[in-house]
Amino acid sequence: MHMLKEGTKTNQSKVGNCFHLSKSPMATSSSVSFLCLLLFLSPLLLNTVHGNPNYKEALLKSILFFQGQRSGRLPANQQITWRSNSGLSDGLLEHVDLTGGYYDAGDNVKFNFPMAFTTTMLSWSTLEYGKRMGPQLQEARAAIRWATDYLLKCANAKPGKLYVGVGDPNADHKCWERPEDMDTVRTTYAVTPSNPGSDVAAETAAALAAASMVFRKIDPKYSSLLRGTARKVMAFAIQYRGAYSDSLGSAVCPFYCSYSGYKDELLWGASWLLRATNDAYYSNFLKTLGADDQPDLFSWDNKYAGAHVLLARRALVENDKSFEQYKQEAESFMCRILPNSPYSTTQYTQGGLMYKLPQSNLQYVTSITFLLTTYGKYMKAKRQTFNCGNLMVSPNSLIGLAKRQVDYILGENPIKMSYMVGFGPNFPKRIHHRGSSLPSLASHHESIGCDGGFQPFFYSSNPNPNILVGAIVGGPNQNDGYPDDRSDYSHSEPATYINAAMVGPLAFFAGLEAH
């Protein structure tokens, strides 16, 4: 709310300037009205001349969103002020402190599998694009640290145990209540040597390893703790093999089942530890994993393409020929995405949006867009091109496609809808999100029980009372349509992993504007 009001203030000051101008003895009425018109239109003209949304504003908001997802005791500098402390007894049932971290989407559960992926992507964004983030670099680090502080607790609370979630999802999904009022049981879930979870453990290791590089220079002690814990958790993932879905069943399925198996996480985790430590153990381990799947998407569940791009960096940027196979795999992934490639397996809507799956499609769009931007950046640094059959692909082919996806999400689409809440004049007002759709504690002191939020709030056609600034929702359907309906969660629910992947491309394009 506060963020949006600031924009209106600047327009008021422009009105004031015009008023003072008209009193100047030098001003003619026509020059005043022309100047006034320019003052009013300047932001609009800037947008239309370049056709570019304001990437800096979108970057700021995309990171601010994470404050709305915070669990635990909120800090004094919390900017999304309709949120309050929540989940303060998390871990109590097990006599451990598991407070903190993020709610994954519109619910009040902490699922560590997508949370760790979110953290890895925020860290990767910061490592690749931190120099382009300007004042948002500090905010990105704070968003990462909010997650890593929690993930460290999960990894170090009890020997031989990695906590991987808090809150019974089946009980939680029957309720519509604010996180501050939660009265569902805060069950804790863990993987152990006898109930393994190589996927969630390796993703946690990836998150801690990637974040260790973010803090390497500014907080070496914290960085070292992250790196050491990442090694330990990765060793656990490698030694005790198994899918966490098999170990935890209905606590994670169908919500965040590991559909792609755990080999992709072992690849991803080892790739990040290799980058963070340069330890040959991890490059040798990568070789033992054998041939990889060739996916045409990248997500919190399927990490192959991300690992291929990350490892291709060694071949492309560092000229290490032993990583050539990953460069080829990364390029073959790009050939499946590019719309004019003879090997493309990717659908596009009429408005130009990549369309992968009907459920929360923008999660795939933002993640793939991150890979397009990043691989394009690696290619540009070495002036490289590659071919998809007879199509020659330049860095700008990838970056241009990435830009079209980012611009579409920010409002350059057939219905002129920005899919980032609080960005642009037209954005989703009825998002599927408990805290946003229910009145805040400040405006409604009484507790809202498990069922209390459905009537009159969930089923209301009124816009949500609290604006979750920066949230990117599941997005439009394959016909570029968006009903803006709270109950249509596959289109109207935001999620941390949708936003985390968008931070890098936004920083990239915001940085281009600055140069």
Q: pLDDT digits over 73-92, tens only?
A: 999 999 999 999 999 999 99
Residue 182, domain extent:
55-430+467-514
The catalytically annotated residue of 308, 432, 433, 491 is 432
380 and 231 inside one domain: yes
pLDDT at 392: 98
Give the residue-averaged pLDDT of 346-367. 97
User: So what's the pLDDT on residue 291?
Assistant: 78
- CA of 173: how far to CAs of 235, 330, 363, 438, in Å? 34, 38, 21, 16
Residues 98 and 171 grouped into a single domain: yes
* Known catalytic membership, residue 432: yes
Q: Is residue 439 part of a domain?
A: no
**In the structure, what pLDDT confidence band is assigned to residue 350 with cuts at 50, 70 and 90?**
very high
> What's the predicted TM-score (pTM) here?
0.90
Write down the pLDDT at residue 292.
84
Task: Looking at the structure, tell me whether residues 231 and 376 fall in a common domain.
Answer: yes
The helix or strand, by DSSP H or E, that contains position 207, with its residue range, turns out to be helix 198-214
| Within a domain: 67 | yes
Q: Find out whether 424 and 430 touch, Cβ atoms under 8 Å.
A: no
3-state secondary structure of 12: helix
> For residues 100 and 84, what is the distance between their CA atoms, to the nearest angstrom?
13
Same domain for 164 and 241, yes or no, is yes
Mark whether 183 and 199 lie in a shared domain.
Answer: yes
| Window from 250-254, 304-308, 371-375 with minimum mean pLDDT | 250-254
CATH code of the domain in which 79 resides: 1.50.10.10
Contact 279, 304 (CB under 8 A): no
Residue 383 resides in a domain: yes
Enter the DSSP assignment of 348.
E
Do residue 417 and residue 377 come from a single domain? yes
Mean predicted confidence (pLDDT) in 359-371: 98
Residue 61 lies in a domain: yes
Pair 28, 70 in one domain: no
Tokens, residue 432:
């599927």
Nearest Cα neighbor of 176 from 472, 473, 456 is 456
Number of structural domains, the chain? 2
Mean pLDDT value of segment 406-419: 98
Residues 41 and 170 in one domain: no
Q: Percentage of the chain surpassing pLDDT 90?
A: 85
Residues 29 and 145 in one domain: no
State yes or no: is 94 an active-site residue: no
**The pLDDT of residue 25 is above 70:** no
445 in the Ramachandran plot: left (φ > 0), alpha (ψ -120 to 50) or beta? alpha
Q: What rounded mean pLDDT belongs to the chain?
A: 90
Q: Are residues 107 and 7 in the same domain?
A: no
Q: How far is CA 445 from the centre of its chain?
A: 32
E strand spans, 91-239: 110-111, 162-166, 188-191
Catalytic residue among 246, 320, 484, 485: 484
Check 57, 107, 139, 493 and give the catalytic one: 493
Domain assignment present for 233:
yes
Task: Tell me how far apart the alpha carbons of residues 100 and 64 are, in angstroms, rounded to a whole number.
Answer: 17
CA–CA separation, 316 and 392 (whole Å) = 17
Residue 93 in domain: yes
Most confident region among 247-251, 290-294, 363-367 by mean pLDDT: 363-367
My answer on whether 259 and 375 are in the same domain is yes
CB atoms within 10 A of CB 465: 16
Could you tell me if residue 144 is inside a domain? yes
Say whether both 396 and 491 belong to one domain: yes
Cα(437)–Cα(380) distance, rounded to whole angstroms? 44
